[in-house]
Amino acid sequence: MKIDLTTKLDFNNVLIKPQRTTISSRSEVSLDRTFIFKNSTSKWKGVPIISANMDTTGTFQIANILSRHKILTCLNKFYTFKDYQIYLNQQKNKEDFSTNDFLENVIVSTGISEKNFENLCEIMDGIQSLKWVCIDVANGYMEKMTHFCKKVRERYPKAIIIAGNVATSEMTQELIINGKVDIVKVGIGPGSACLTRMKTGVGVPQLSAIIDCADAAHGCSGHIIGDGGITCPGDMAKAFGGGADFVMCGGIFSGHDENPGELVELNGERYKLFYGMSSELAMKKHYGKMAKYRSSEGRVIKVPYRGSLETTVLDYLGGLRSTCAYVNAYKIKHLPKCTTFILVNQQLNTHLVN
């Protein structure tokens, strides 16, 4: 048995210290960032926020909205090539849809089985303008994960490859150096719909995981995604300030008109369902049952109805610009260098909040 006595921090343990700034308006802040990747020959420019590849947030409809803001959507891994074809044909010639913007800002997800690989290849070979791949498993520490990543890199040398999830520096470097991926997805159990920490006792507080993994990734010319734990625009700013190159969110992008599912009314309030991909609901939906050798590591959440996704997007982008203005970061890329975290016991005055 070993005990690491180093203090590990989450978003609610810190605030960002303000400092003298020459920025006089949020409009002066640029949230666009141009990326050149270690193992891919592709480049990308946009706002480095990603909607998670879950049933309710990793959808074509969500991607249609987010791509207009140059925000990425990680599509769920249960889409097939035929699904892509049908959706693109349906959107063809619509005034509010750009095929180029859409394909530039969607990420094709895959597991690590042979069936998953075949589905990935059919999609990538059938729509060759797609450039993003996310190799996604709950436990990114499996030896099989690294081998699968190398296999995808050999098949698609130009692709921008994401892999995860992990929460420590050593495995971050392993996936970049030996797995030949470009971006490592960081987060074990911080998501609102995730029960991994409760069911397994495994995890690392998300801000410390981001800081440690970002340092490791940047040391070998890679990048990371801070995946999960975002409850408000301030949390997202802290993730970027801690060194995350991208931030992935599920819960904050749920509960809108554009999310799939019917509105549920309960006690006069309206909701939409949001659930983890390791939940019993997701297992039964996609595999017909919950296997006896595993337990449900995801919860089903009734998310209060939020209206249009556009409203939430603008709220978060506005919050990020305001953070940058408080610390004199003209570009989101500069946020880590401009960020000083201070430890706190309380963040908000909730005296009059019900």
pLDDT-wise least confident of 132-146, 243-257, 291-305: 291-305
Q: Is residue 9 part of a domain?
A: no
| pLDDT value for 265 | 87
Q: Where are the alpha helices (DSSP H) in 17-107?
A: 60-66, 81-91, 99-104
| pLDDT value for 273 | 82
**Does residue 80 surpass a pLDDT of 60?**
yes
CA 230: distance to chain centroid? 10
Mean predicted confidence (pLDDT) in 256-283: 78
Assess contact for 326 and 18: CB atoms under 8 A.
yes
Q: Is residue 291 part of a domain?
A: no
Per residue in 150-166, pLDDT tens?
A: 999 999 999 999 998 99
Assess contact for 312 and 264: CB atoms under 8 A.
no
Rounded distance between C-alpha atoms, residue 274 and residue 299, angstroms: 8
Q: What is the CATH number of the domain that holds 125?
A: 3.20.20.70
Rounded distance between C-alpha atoms, residue 341 and residue 230, angstroms: 17
Assess contact for 100 and 160: CB atoms under 8 A.
no
Domain of residue 59: give its range: 22-261+309-340
Which one has a higher pLDDT value, 7 or 193? 7
The model's pTM: 0.93
Amino acid at 200: T
Rounded distance between C-alpha atoms, residue 173 and residue 176, angstroms: 5
| pLDDT value for 198 | 87
Mean predicted confidence (pLDDT) in 106-119: 97
Longest dimension (CA), the chain: 62
| pLDDT value for 266 | 84
Per residue in 273-329, pLDDT tens?
A: 876 565 555 556 666 655 555 555 566 878 899 999 999 999 999 999 999 999 999
Rounded distance between C-alpha atoms, residue 351 and residue 284, angstroms: 42
The 8-class DSSP code of residue 351 comes to T
Q: Is residue 322 part of a domain?
A: yes
Average of per-residue pLDDT values in the chain: 92
Rounded distance between C-alpha atoms, residue 41 and residue 259, angstroms: 33
Find the distance separating the first CA and the last CA of the chain, reported in whole Å: 44
Rounded distance between C-alpha atoms, residue 296 and residue 151, angstroms: 30
**Does residue 65 surpass a pLDDT of 60?**
yes
> Which residues are catalytically annotated?
194, 196
Helix (H, G, I), strand (E, B) or coil at 70: coil
Print burial letters for 263-283: b (CB count within 10 Å at least 16), e (below 16).
eeeeeeeebbbbbbbbbbbbb
Q: Are strands 43-51 and 246-249 parallel, antiparallel or unpaired?
A: parallel
For the chain, give the percent of residues with pLDDT over 70: 93
**Does residue 237 surpass a pLDDT of 80?**
yes
Helix (H, G, I), strand (E, B) or coil at 284: helix
Cis peptide before 165 (omega within 30 of 0): yes
Assess contact for 99 and 134: CB atoms under 8 A.
no
Q: Are strands 300-304 and 269-275 parallel, antiparallel or unpaired?
A: antiparallel
Q: Is residue 135 part of a domain?
A: yes
Mean predicted confidence (pLDDT) in 91-114: 94
Q: Is residue 237 part of a domain?
A: yes
**Does residue 191 surpass a pLDDT of 60?**
yes
| pLDDT value for 282 | 54
Q: Is residue 26 part of a domain?
A: yes
**Does residue 19 surpass a pLDDT of 90?**
yes
**Does residue 354 surpass a pLDDT of 80?**
no
Rounded distance between C-alpha atoms, residue 67 and residue 62, angstroms: 9
Q: Is residue 233 part of a domain?
A: yes
**In the beta sheet, which residues pair with residue 71?**
47
**Does residue 130 surpass a pLDDT of 80?**
yes
Amino acid at 79: Y
Which one has a higher pLDDT value, 149 or 191? 149
Cβ neighbours of 352 (radius 10 Å)? 5
Rounded distance between C-alpha atoms, residue 254 and residue 306, angstroms: 8
Assess contact for 290 and 280: CB atoms under 8 A.
yes
- Alpha-carbon radius of gyration of the chain: 20
Q: Is residue 275 part of a domain?
A: no
User: How many domains does the chain divide into?
Assistant: 1
Rounded distance between C-alpha atoms, residue 34 and residue 69, angstroms: 15
Q: Are strands 269-275 and 223-227 parallel, antiparallel or unpaired?
A: unpaired
